[in-house]
Structure 1
Amino acid sequence: MSRTVVRVRVLVGEARRLGVPESRARLRFAEGAKAPGAWAGRRLVVVDDEPAFERSFWCGTCPFLFRRLEGANQTLSLDHVRERLALRLTEPDGAVVEAFAALLPEGDYLPLLLRIEPRLTVPGQEGDYFSHEQVATWGIDGFWGLPEYPHTPYYRTFETAVGDEAHLYEFVVPMVPPTWNERDRVEEYAGQMRRGAVPTAVAVSTLDLCQPAMDDRSADYYEHWGLTHFLLDGHHKLEAAASSGRPVQLLSLLALDESDSPARDHRRLAALRAQHRRGRAAV
């Protein structure tokens, strides 16, 4: 895989307690019902009490996953901060953080302000993580005989080496597919970006670390760091950036309590995210 030397920008705030009681949160993280004989239910992102996404299983040895479910059918934009988000932020804006935290369950969050260059990716097509990098490590699903399928187009934004035995992959996952976006708004943002504007989108994020339990010598065996940004606001901006080849900012609230990764790796994210973008060199 080719390597690109695009430098990326990241600003990190202080980890802090944010959110509202779970009963008042519009988006929350939950465990699904246990299947007969299972030790745990599916890990879910729930929006307005409807399962919106399935996430990687708890064990850490199953393939990394985000999969859209029927509850992912609306965005979570906030009109009263729209003007702030139309601009390039110079730091994780406290007013914006507090506004979106009111949609989320109480917990510890790490604000990240990222400059991203999104590439729209369609499952099964060129550049699809699930059909390429993941299959190289886990192979195809033993029951379905197919790669994992996320049931949504998504954006690939960044990747880099964590070391010889680990690699970071970053994704932005829209709440609704780009085909639902209003064409006029996408074109308006694309025009602004071509004139130099760098607006800001907002997401709640998780970092899951996944690695097969057994080292299959025929596979590209290493630990996959999946940094997933579930997009709350900015669906038109992301599509505009991808279609025009322009950057956009992403204000991410990394949900530390809901990430299947240790605190020491959360602390490494800023340095990793500031590295050069680099694809995985299979060994």
Structure 2
Amino acid sequence: MIKCDEPRTLGVPAPEARLRFEAEEVEKAEREGRSRRRLLVVDGEPAFELSHWCGTCPLLFRRLVTATQKLSLEDVRERLTGTLADPGDGGVIDAFGALLPEGEYLPVLLRVEPRLVIPGQEGDYFRGEQVDSWGIDQFWGLPEYPHTPYYRTFETAVGSSAHLYEFVVPMVPPTWNERERVEEYVELMGRGAVPTAVAVSTLDVCQAENAFGDDQSPHWGLTHFLLDGHHKLEAAAIAGRPVQLLSLLALGEGLADAEQCARLPALRAQPRSARKTGA
């Protein structure tokens, strides 16, 4: 972690926000014979299904078929090509705050070294650590599937039993990125540049209950949904280089209480450590 600011009120009235968090309509869920979903909505279309409200179901960020939009802002691109010294540098927070629903957000400036993960392959949280705690889905007989590549960036212990996992989730798959722009960032990073990406983030604290895994320890999932930086994150993963990530943590939108959110800066400043199996 580079710096954590104080919580601040950002955003516009929810109907005007390009990105917002919503509960699915009861009637729609009933028509389809399932429980209501917790959703991240972009430009009026459901983009991601999020962890269920109960807090005992597995952590989830599942991309939906209507997730087709990025939220980059051209007028701040030049500032984000360089290194920010402060979360509020250059009015970046206010610029991206105008995309979000009105609420309390905690700005945190992080330095991350992203590793691209393909679901079902090595390093996939959903087939690894999550199965260790929840087991596989008893109906499908499979692990949860996020329907998107994503980046893993950090993890650390939370006390003696729980564990924090950090993810950066692109709004669209890296295969949609422009190759020339990715290569430009690879070259810039090779010369020592550390560009900045921007994300809106949630903290979900989930604990398996009556599950089928061997490890029932709580999982703290810090999930960053990229607003700007799709090409930068892919380039950093290719080059093995760091990027900065300006995270706007949406307080009250995740499955974490105020005390848990307040612990996040200190946890994110800890040394990186993998979970001990059977802890």
TM, length-normalised to structure 1: 0.94
Structure 2 match to 1:11: 3
Does the 8 Å CA contact 2:6/2:106 hold for their aligned counterparts?
A: yes
Structure 2 match to 1:142: 138
Matched, 1:212 2:208: yes
Does the 8 Å CA contact 1:56/1:63 hold for their aligned counterparts?
A: yes
Structure 1 match to 2:169: 173
Q: Secondary structure at the match of 2:259?
A: helix
Structure 1 match to 2:218: 223
The code of the aligned residue for 1:11 comes to K
The code of the aligned residue for 1:235 comes to H
Q: Secondary structure at the match of 2:276?
A: coil
Partner Cα separation in structure 2 for residue 33 and residue 139 of structure 1: 29
Structure 2 match to 1:3: none
Structure 1 match to 2:187: 191
Indicate which of 33, 36, 46 corresponds to 2:30: 36
Structure 2 match to 1:238: 233
Partner Cα separation in structure 2 for residue 209 and residue 44 of structure 1: 17
Q: For residues 126-175 of structure 1, what are the alpha-carbon distances to aligned partners after superposition, in whole Å with 9 as ceiling and x for unaligned?
A: 00000000000000001100000000000000000002220000000000
Shift of 1:83: 1.0
Partner Cα separation in structure 1 for residue 30 and residue 80 of structure 2: 46
Shift of 1:220: 1.1
Alignment of 1:1-283 (within 5 A): 9-34=1-26, 35-36=29-30, 41-94=36-89, 95-214=91-210, 219-283=214-278
The code of the aligned residue for 1:115 comes to R
What runs of 5+ residues in structure 1 fail to find an aligned partner? 1-8
Query: Which region of structure 1 is more displaced relative to structure 2, 30-39 or 181-190?
Result: 30-39
Shift of 1:71: 2.2
Does the 8 Å CA contact 1:169/1:226 hold for their aligned counterparts?
A: yes
Partner Cα separation in structure 2 for residue 188 and residue 260 of structure 1: 38
**Are the structure 2 counterparts of residues 245 and 275 from structure 1 closer, same or farther at C-alpha, using a change threshold of 3 Å?**
same
Does the 8 Å CA contact 1:46/1:71 hold for their aligned counterparts?
A: no
Shift of 1:104: 0.3
Partner Cα separation in structure 2 for residue 145 and residue 202 of structure 1: 36
Partner Cα separation in structure 1 for residue 129 and residue 208 of structure 2: 13
Shift of 1:93: 2.2
The code of the aligned residue for 1:20 comes to V
**Are the structure 2 counterparts of residues 215 and 235 from structure 1 closer, same or farther at C-alpha, using a change threshold of 3 Å?**
closer
Does the 8 Å CA contact 1:10/1:273 hold for their aligned counterparts?
A: no
Partner Cα separation in structure 2 for residue 215 and residue 185 of structure 1: 44
**Are the structure 2 counterparts of residues 53 and 39 from structure 1 closer, same or farther at C-alpha, using a change threshold of 3 Å?**
closer
Partner Cα separation in structure 2 for residue 147 and residue 72 of structure 1: 22
Q: Percent identity?
A: 68
What runs of 5+ residues in structure 2 fail to find an aligned partner? none
Partner Cα separation in structure 2 for residue 144 and residue 33 of structure 1: 25
Q: How many residues align?
A: 274
TM, length-normalised to structure 2: 0.95
